[in-house]
Each structure stands twice: as structure tokens, then as C-alpha cells.
Structure 1
Amino acid sequence: MPAVRGNFMEDMGLQLRSLLGVFAFVAIAWALGPRKMPPWVLILGAVIVQFAIAFALYSFAPTRAFLASLTGVVEVLQAATTMGTSFVFGYVGGGESPFLINPDANASTFIFAFQALPMVIVLSAISALLWRWRVLEFAVRGFALMFRRILNLSGAASLGAAANIFLGMTESPVLIRPRLPTMSRSDLFLIMTVGFSTVAGSVMAIYVSQLTGVVADAAGHILTASLISVPAAVLLARLMHPQDETEEQASKEKVPVNLYHSSMDALTTGVSDGVRLFVNIIAMLLVFTAIVALINFSLAAAGEINGAPMSVERVLGWFFAPLVWLAGIPWAEAQTAGSIMGLKTALNEIFAYDALSNTGDELSARSRLIMTYAVCGFANFSSVGILIGGLIAVAPSRRADILSLAPRALISGTLATLMTGAVIGALPGGLFGL
């Protein structure tokens, strides 16, 4: 009984720290802004929305069943994609190997670029079709209405923010292209922050494949993370860059959306967009892996510190350890979790999820769940260039504003995902089957 009580008190202490961490991240964002009078209504509203959505999704049997079924959907999509990759790439893409595999060899026959990443192209095409058939548009407009009323956003800002739940940070601004030239700097900063704190539907399946066996019902958690990070991003964006009354307000009228002229146009455009994303991911993984290796070689030459060689992971772990501790990670695990958060920021979330899947017993089940949410976002240095290029392409007149706001949006986006991780940490572990 004393041991059970001790574990209960320890869990309660971690939940309380996560709850305090939610407001600590709010305070950090406020300190990084002009430090005006805090918008208490928005703060409470955004925090309550985050907790309400997470609690509702995992408290009711129908929603839990829906989220649990998403992993099965991803598996079906992966099987269908494998049929395509096997036909196009043969055994390299997952088809039957013409060679005998040595079971004693310490090597994997899984080729990430040809067996996992092609799903990005398939999902990009499917997402475009679902938008053309108004399935995604209906869902986006529903969330946009909720955000507009609860978080007091303009029509364009709410639509752009809601679109980021399903679309990428460069695709969603296309929906509000007519409003971007006259959108206030505050709303523009908000759109960029939401883009950094969420992920696109086209890459969710990649994360799910990486987290298989690490987090139960990974697909449901990835979708939930992208959803509940929006209120956090809106709040932190408003704290770091409040709406200026002298700025021209974006129209609250309905924003027209017409991305594709036909289903065939949607399909071919989705494939083209997916191919660009596919090539971009491969290039980034190749280059950044090489750069990290070079840096690690250089750091290792400097000698060992505390019995271990210096590395990018260790340095980033020291920097992010206090932040993940605020999110509810025990200090004994903060170095490991901090390095994962650092990899996500310096490189991208694919590196981070790969590191998370290889932590073994270094992180508890609760810590792995928190980090699944904290890592789920596009806030990294390479994405800054991608977002800048995408926004300038659709709103060239806002080039100066986009360039000046992007670095700060990276900070607010990172804080938003950490805040989302803290929200999950503050909820009872039993809610998630822990």
C-alpha cells in the first residue's frame, strides 16, 4: 500500500507540474512580447479549449474508438502504397527480394526513402481529392467557426489556422490568398505560428510508422496533437505579437475557396505537390544527417565531458531539458527528452521521432506520450525557409513582414507544441491507457 500511495503522489506531482508548465509557457511568450496587459479571457479560453478537446476525444467510447481506428487506416494506406512502390521500385520498394537475406546480419532491409516516404505522395493526392469533394473543406470550416467564436479571430485567420490541422504550412495560406495582402501583421504572425505548431496530413502516416510499438494508437495522438496545438499557437502568437488597433483588420467575411477545378485537377496537383515534398524530405534528411555527423566528429575530437563525448544531442539536451521539465518530464529523463526536442528544432520532427522510438527504457510511457505531442510540429530551422518561400510566393507584397516575423514565429511555434505536451501531461494517465 505505501508503494502504491507513493506512486500515486508522484504521478499527481508530475501532473501538477505539467499544469503549472502550461501557464509557464504562456508567461514565457508574454515576456518575449511587448508585455501588454495579459488578455485573461483569451488565455483561459485557449487553455480550456485545449483541455476540453483532449478530454472529450479520450473520455467517450465513440471518439476513442475513432482515434484507435486511425492506426488501422494508416496500415491500410501503407499496404496500398507498398503495392505501388513494389511495382515501381521492385524489392527496394518492399517487393519480394530476389536475394537470400542473411538472418545473422546486423542490417535492416527497410529502405525509408522507397518504402515509407512514398506514402507522402499518396496522402497528398488523397487530401487534394478530399478537398475537391468538400470533405476536408467542411471539416476545416467547422473548426474555423469554432476558433473564430471562441478565440475571437478574423474570418481569414480562423480559416488559415483551422486548415493547418490537415494541410501543410505552405498549402493552408493558399486558402486565404485574397486576404493576405491586407491582413494585419498580428494575424500574419498568428498564421505562421500555427503553421509551425502543427503538421500536415500528408506526413502524419510517416510519424505513425515511426511510433509503432512506442505509443499505442499513434495515429490518434498525432491527429489530436495537431488539433489542440492550434489554440495554444493562437494564444502564444497573440501574446508575442498582440493585435494593434491601428492595424487594418482582416475582413470577417467568408473567404472564398477554390483550389481545384476538377477531381482530375485535384489528383494531379496533389501528386505534384507530394513529389516536391517527397524530394524535399529526402534531401533534408540526407544533408542534415551528414551535417550532424560532421559536427559530432568535431565535438568528439574535443574530448569527453562527464565520461561521454560531446555531441549535438547532448548540447541540445542541456538547452531544452528545463523546458521539457516544465512540460512534466521527470528531471532524470529531461536530458534524453531535451535532446529529442533539440533534434526536432535543429533538424526536423522525423529525426526526433526516430530518436524517440529508440529511447527504450530511458523514458517512461508517460514521458514518451508527452514528447509525442511536444515534437508534433514543423517548428525547425529548415521549415523557416520553407514557410518564407511559400508565403512570399502567394503574397509577394508582404515579403518584408514575412521575413521579419518568421524567426519569432519559430519560437512561438516551439513553445506552442511544448504547451500542448504539458496539457497532455496534466491529464490523468488512465485517460490514455497508461
Structure 2
Amino acid sequence: MKFITFFVGLIVVFLLAYIASNNKKHIKFKPIFIMLIIQLILTYLLLNTEIGLILIRIISSLFTKLLEYAANGINFVFGGLANKGEMPFFLTVLLPIVFISVLIGILQHFKILPFFIRWIGYFLSKINGLGKLESYNAIASAIVGQSEVFITVKKQLAQIPKHRLYTLCASAMSTVSMSIVGAYMTMIEPKYVVTALVLNLFSGFIIVLIINPYDVKDDEDILEIKGEKQSFFEMLGEYILDGFRVAIVVGAMLIGFVALISCINDLFLIIFGITFQQLIGYVFAPIAFLIGVPSSEIVAAGSIMATKLVTNEFVAMMDLSKISNSLSPRTVGIISVFLVSFANFSSIGIISGAVKGLNEEQGNVVARFGLKLLYGATLVSILSAIIVSIML
């Protein structure tokens, strides 16, 4: 049954992407097929082989150690608060982002990350048929974040045509920043976080090749990476504050969204006799079934998927962690992979705002195709979830 659901799911996702395509006659099927095969192979290696499980354990242990280091700094500042029973979510999940942000800054400063990003992007461009800029941006988005990545390509931003700008923004929304991967791993199983990071990269390329197909001419295939000259300690201060700002913003959004959802749930319960999250669970139930969730759990899974779309992945992950014991391991795995991306309504504002801050005209262009951007990024998450479903 899961094989039938898998193939039906793929067909539906590809059809949904095809319907929204800018140029249906120009879709390149060869790179799509190649990347689909690569996804299946990598998913099998990560989840069903000893080598893959060892690799995931190593990555998980690394982030666990990083979180321990971060805890030393957190305990120094918030020691009295942290020692009173269970540590608050802000301290255990969000504040470690500050330390991980610093490590990313150090790797950036010594040109280690740019070297790997550039060459991995170059290799991927040979597979996906897209330009060097698009492939670089996809990798860089997963490292530095969905808004900061545009700073690195600031020199080219004004000259980028609309179709290429869509691809850059789609990559940014379909991935997650490395600085918050550690936070995800405290809420869902690390193996699904790692698998989602890999799958979303290729799923992003696949969906873009269908929705937004185009050719990049040799004279247009240029990559100019902007790097600011900073002293080591100037860089440290900047990345520390950047990490803290991310933690504060995420914390503020969680307070607002969780409170709002709770209020709306009560209003719907009083008026309709059913909570808002239960209602959207029924709306998203067909999608949950499409990605391989057992029929008895599609409403609960659909509710979490919808919550992620209308709020953000943190709120949805918190909801998943509350009910994960009542769900099958298969459902938990599929939904976990679906949640690991920035595909939600607030990301439209974040990305368009980031681009507008660098180039107002291009920022307005992004705002105009914002809903189509979210549509494509959501299909990326659905495709990744379908791929992982065949291995669970």
C-alpha cells in the first residue's frame, strides 16, 4: 500500500507544480529524474544503513556537545533562573542559537564555509541544470539563513531577472538555517532533521525546475560573492548579536502565535464546537494521507502541518512533541521531515523584507510573487515527506 501511496503522491505533487509552471514546454525532465533517484538513494543510506545511522549519530552528538557548550554561557547569565526546576524553552532551545551563530561566523571569517559552499554549489549546478548562482544560493541559505543569504549576492541582486530571483527566494524558503538546527534537534529526532536538510535541497531544485524552468546563458552564469572586511572580534560581536536577535525574534513570534492559536481555538470551540486546529486538521487530512500518513492519524497530522503553514515550524514541532507518543513512528518521521523548512506565511515578509532592504525594486518583485513562492516551498516540504515515507 505504501508504494501505491508513494507513486500517487509523486504524481499529485508534480501535477500541482506543473499547473503553476511558467513555461510548461521548457521543463527539463532528465535532471528531475536524476535528483529523484539521488534523493531515494541518500534517504535509504541515511535511514536504513549502518553507515548512515553512524553519520547521523555523529552529527547529533556534535550538536549535543555544542548545546552543552552553549549551556555553560546560558547558566552563567541565567543560572538562578535555570536551576529552578525545569529550564524554560527560551533557555534550552533558543539561546543556544547564539553560540552556534558564533561558530558559523568563525567558519565564515576564515573562508572555510565559503570554500565548501562555492564548490558544492558548483557540483550541484552540473546535476540540476541551473546556474552557479542558484546552486550557491541553495547551499548558502542552509548555512547562513533565509534573509542573510541575500547579502552575500548583493552585487548581483539589482541585475537578477524575475525568474532567477524566484529561484533564489524559493531556495531560501525551502531550507533552514544551520544556526537553528540544534534547536530543532531538541524537539524532533535528529535523524529526521538531517534527512530533511538533504532532501529539501534536491526537492527545492526539482520543484523549481517544474514551476520556474529557464536556461542560464554562459555570459549570465556569473557568481559574485560579496564579502565584508572585518576584524576577528568585530565579526564575533556581529554574529553574537545576530544569534541573539534570531532567538529573541523566534521567542517573540512563539509567544504571539501560541497565544493567538489558543485564543482562536477557544473561540471556535464556543461557536462551532470544534477547535481551530482540529478544523484545519480536517482540511489538511488529504495532504497528510497523500504523504503516507496512516488513515487513522491523518487529522492529527494534518493539524500539525496546517499549524506550521499558518504560524511557523517551532509552534508545529512543539505540538508534535506533545502528541508524538500517541502517533505511530511512521507518522512522526514523515511529519518531522515535513516540518523542517521555513515554508510559512511569515517567511514571505521576512524574505521580501530582506531583499527590499538591499534593493527596493527587487523587494517589491518578491512581494508580488510571495504566495507562489510559499506554494512552491510547501510542495518542496510535501515532496521530501513523500520521499521519506517509502523508507519508513
Q: TM-score, normalised by structure 2?
A: 0.93
Counterpart pick for 1:239 among 201, 210, 214 = 210
| Deviation readout 1:369-411 (Å, 9 max, x if unpaired) | 1111111100111222111111111232313311112221111
**1:36 paired to 2:5:** no
**After superposition, where does 1:93-112 map in structure 2 within 5 Å?**
94=82, 96-97=83-84, 109-112=86-89
Which of 266, 288, 294 does residue 257 from structure 2 map onto?
A: 288
**Whole-Å separation in 2 of the counterparts to 1:249 and 1:331:** 49
**How many angstroms does 1:184 deviate by?**
2.3
Answer 1 or 2: which has greater helix percent.
2
2:157 aligned residue (180, 185, 188): 180
1:327 matches 2:316: no
Contact preservation (8 Å) 1:190, 1:238? no
Alignment of structure 1 residues 215-364 onto 2, 5 Å: 215=189, 218=190, 220-243=191-214, 251-259=220-228, 261-304=230-273, 310-364=274-328
Partner in structure 2 of residue 66 of structure 1: 55
CA distance in 2, matches of 1:404, 1:158: 23
* Equivalent position SS for 1:210: coil
Give the RMSD, CA atoms, in angstroms: 2.1
Q: SS of the counterpart of 1:169?
A: coil
Contact 1:317–1:337 (Cα < 8 Å) also in 2: yes
| Per-residue deviation, 1:301 | 1.3
User: How far apart are residue 61 of structure 1 and its match?
Assistant: 4.2
Out of 112-121 and 197-206, give the one that drifted further.
Answer: 112-121
Matches within 5 A, 1:81-230: 81-92=70-81, 94=82, 96-97=83-84, 109-211=86-188, 215=189, 218=190, 220-230=191-201
Aligned to 2:11: 23
Q: After TM superposition, give the deviation of residue 248 of structure 1 in Å.
A: 8.6
The 3 A distance-change label for structure 1 pair 275 and 49 is same
When residues 210 and 124 of structure 1 are mapped into structure 2, their CA distance, relative to the original with a 3 A threshold, is: same
| Distance across 2 between alignment mates of 1:58 and 1:146 | 24
Number of matched pairs: 391
Q: Does residue 379 in structure 1 map to residue 366 in structure 2?
A: no
Equivalent pair of 1:184/1:249 in contact (CA under 8 Å):
no
In structure 1, distance between residues paired with 2:368 and 2:80: 47
Counterpart of 2:202, as a letter, is P
**TM superposition shift of 1:361:** 4.2
Larger Rg: 1
C-alpha distance in structure 1 between counterparts of 2:108 and 2:242, whole Å: 14
Q: What is the Cα deviation at residue 259 of structure 1?
A: 4.5
8 Å CA contact retained: 1:15, 1:425: no
Any conservation in 2 of the 1:19–1:425 contact (CA below 8 Å)?
no
Residue 62 of structure 1: how far off its partner (Å):
4.2
User: What letter matches 2:31 in structure 1?
Assistant: L
Structure 1 residue ranges (4+ consecutive) displaced by more than 6 angstroms after TM superposition: 247-250
Q: Which moved more, 1:292-301 or 1:369-378?
A: 292-301
Q: How many angstroms apart in 1 are the aligned matches of 2:156 and 2:217?
A: 11
Q: Select between 344-353 and 45-54 the one with higher mean Cα deviation.
A: 45-54
Q: Deviations over 1:5-49 (max 9, x none)?
A: xxxxxxxx1143124312321211111234613432232133123
Structure 1 residue 422, shift from structure 2 partner: 0.5
For 2:361 and 2:8, the matched residues in 1 are separated by: 41
Aligned-pair identity (%):
21
The whole-number CA distance in structure 2 between the counterparts of 1:399 and 1:62 is 44
Letter in 1 for 2:268: L
Q: Go from structure 1 to structure 2 and tell me whether the alpha carbon gap of 1:83 and 1:192 turns closer, same or farther (over 3 Å shift).
A: same
Structure 2 distance, partners of 1:249, 1:185, is 18
TM-score where L is the length of structure 1: 0.84
Q: What letter matches 2:154 in structure 1?
A: R
How far did residue 279 of structure 1 move?
Answer: 1.4
2:369 matched to 1:369?
A: no
Distance (whole Å) between structure 1 residues aligned to residue 229 and residue 345 of structure 2: 31
Distance 1:61 1:261 in 2: 43
Unaligned 5+ residue runs, structure 2?
A: none
SS of structure 2 residue aligned to 1:358: helix
CA contact (8 A) 2:197 2:340 kept: yes
Retained in 2: the 8 A contact 1:345–1:379?
A: yes
Question: What amino acid is aligned across from residue 29 of structure 2 in structure 1?
Answer: W
Map Cα deviations across residues 125-160 of structure 1 (whole Å, 9 max, x no partner).
111111222332233223212221111111211111
| Distance in 1 between residues matched to 2:200 and 2:353, nearest whole Å | 23
Supply the AA of the counterpart residue of 2:293. I
Against the structure 1 CA distance between its residues 27 and 222, is the aligned structure 2 distance closer, same or farther, given a 3 Å change threshold? same
Amino acid at match of 2:300: T
